[in-house]
Homo-oligomer: A and B are copies of this chain.
């Protein structure tokens, strides 16, 4: 379970193109960090020390409002990096990061990474690509917040979960929710109660079967229709 730093680097998209020697050079400067579920890695506005790679677990990147509400911007799993950005523009972290599962990270300091990028232009190009996909995802979030209802966002999330984690069965796609309603609310940009209510309503309408955290998506086609139809 405990990969070496070298292995983690090799598995990370950013460094996929490096040679063994380069990997080892970089590994010498990297350090490890473990986080327990729920632990905060950094808060929004903290000054940026460097970038992180995910070796195992999941890291939630989120904004926190003054009223205490959260909005998740991204969830990064193994092979991903995050906080590349402030490394370059010198600014602070624009959002907070916490572990949504027990996680192992690898850390590379800002200076080391910058130097490395200067020596390896292809890594810099890789960074642009990674940041680019992040940007697309953020635009997607904006689109959803601006154009859709909580109900639709929830449906979209469920369909995605069903596709990724779901197991087909005779009456539909079965899946187990691993997160609380609170967590879903933060991903959807709303509050716990609306998640709960919308799930109930989707069940009442026959799209779902809910039983605690076990859930059966009974009518995928119908749900997809709910996403496109104006009503």
Contact = CB atoms under 8 A, between A and B. Distances in A.
Give the size range of A's interface with the partner.
Answer: 35 or more
A58 B106 CA distance: 42
A124 B129 CA distance: 11
Contacts of A127: 128
A85 B124 CA distance: 13
Contacts of A138: 135, 138-139, 142
Interface stretch (A29-37, A88-96, A215-223): A88-96
B230 A89 contact: no
A193 B230 CA distance: 20
Nearest to A84: B128
A124 B131 contact: no
Interface in A129-176: 129, 131-136, 138-139, 141-143, 145-147
Total identical chains: 2
Interface stretch (A66-74, A196-204, A205-213): A66-74
A69 B147 contact: yes
A65 B146 contact: yes
Given A66-B230, A91-B132, 9 more contacts: A63-B146, A71-B146, A85-B135, A88-B128, A89-B129, A94-B139, A124-B125, A124-B128, A134-B135
